[in-house]
Amino acid sequence: MKICVLVKEVPDAAVEKRIDPSTGRMDRSGEKNLNPYDTHAIEAAMQLKEGGALQVDEIVAVTMGPESAVRALHKAVSLGADRSVHLTDDALAGSDVAATGYALAKALEKEQPDIVLLGQQSDDGECYTIGAVVADHLKAPSLTQVIKLDVVDGGLRCERQAEYGYDTVQVALPAVISVGDAINEPRYPSLKAIMGAKKKPLEKAGAGDVGIDGSLVGTDGSRVQCGEFKAPPAKAAGQIIEDEDTDATVEQIVAWLDERKLI
């Protein structure tokens, strides 16, 4: 059985997010990291492999992104993936969420996985959508926000977080499952695994290698059109009360809240 895990390189959480007004795209320069939500997907794959209830022969990390995204694949391999696939092509730049999901599905079609695992959201785009788009193209069931996975009758019984509580859903394989961060505590990679990551097999694929229709990807193939971007208005500075006399300070805070009808 093969598990593919979708992983994405994203700007580091400490980097301030901004849209580049000249391109209408997120400015992805600066420090980057493996999307933290994807480390939970890799860990879920590792636990399925180590749990022994399914015969998992291979875990494959798959990303679509520029040259630099190879670092996300190295990180994924250091966390346990056996090999990785890097879908990279200038024709894919500027793809919106539908185009990205289509391109990833084409790469996955070639791999024929039994399970596709991914993070519930990326730390930069935060669309929460790729899983559903990929599943639609693969004609496979899609489960989102999954926080528990059990192997039952050769399929998976999943508990998923919903607004009203939890759903328990059983799916046959193949299936596409996006996991929430409550599902597990990702392991830390060992030094040996970090050092060995670059030696694990990594396949580079262009759009044509996986049969992507060029008219459905990239800026021209994307249906989202970005209009004008404006920075949010600057917030007025807050009021700082120097605490020289605590009773007076409390009175001032209460008066401030009262004035705004907050108490």
Ligand X SMILES: Cc1cc2nc3c(=O)[nH]c(=O)nc-3n(C[C@H](O)[C@H](O)[C@H](O)COP(=O)(O)OP(=O)(O)OC[C@H]3O[C@@H](n4cnc5c(N)ncnc54)[C@H](O)[C@@H]3O)c2cc1C
80 or 94: CB nearest ligand X: 94
Q: Binding residues for ligand X, how many (CB under 6 A)?
A: 31
Kindly state the smallest distance separating residue 25's Cβ from ligand X, in Å.
5
Q: Which residue's entry shows tokens 């959201």?
A: 121
Q: How far is CA 119 from the centre of its chain?
A: 4
56 or 176: CB nearest ligand X: 176
C-alpha distances in Å from residue 153, one per residue of 49, 52, 161, 170, 173: 16, 14, 23, 10, 10
Contact code string over 104-133 relative to ligand X, x by CB under 6 A: x-------------xx-xx--xxxxxx---
Kindly state the smallest distance separating residue 241's Cβ from ligand X, in Å.
41
C-alpha distances in Å from residue 80, one per residue of 73, 172, 227: 11, 25, 41
137 or 253: CB nearest ligand X: 137
- Residue 183 binding ligand X, by CB under 6 A: no
Using CB under 6 A as the binding rule, the residues of this chain from 57 to 96 that contact ligand X are: 63-65, 93-96
Can you point out the beta strands (E) in 7-73? 9-11, 19-20, 25-26, 32-34, 58-64
Length of the chain: 263
What lies within 8 Å, CB to CB, of 29 at 6+ separation is: 11
- What the block records as the tokens of 132 is 């559903």
57 or 90: CB nearest ligand X: 90
Q: Are 184 and 40 in contact (CB under 8 A)?
A: yes
Among 7, 156, 177, 205, indicate the residue that binds ligand X (CB under 6 A): 7
Contact range with ligand X by CB under 6 A, out of 30-38, 146-154, 166-174, 181-189: 30-38
Contact residues toward ligand X (CB under 6 A) are 6-8, 25, 35, 37-38, 41, 63-65, 93-97, 100, 104, 118-119, 121-122, 125-130, 222, 224, 226
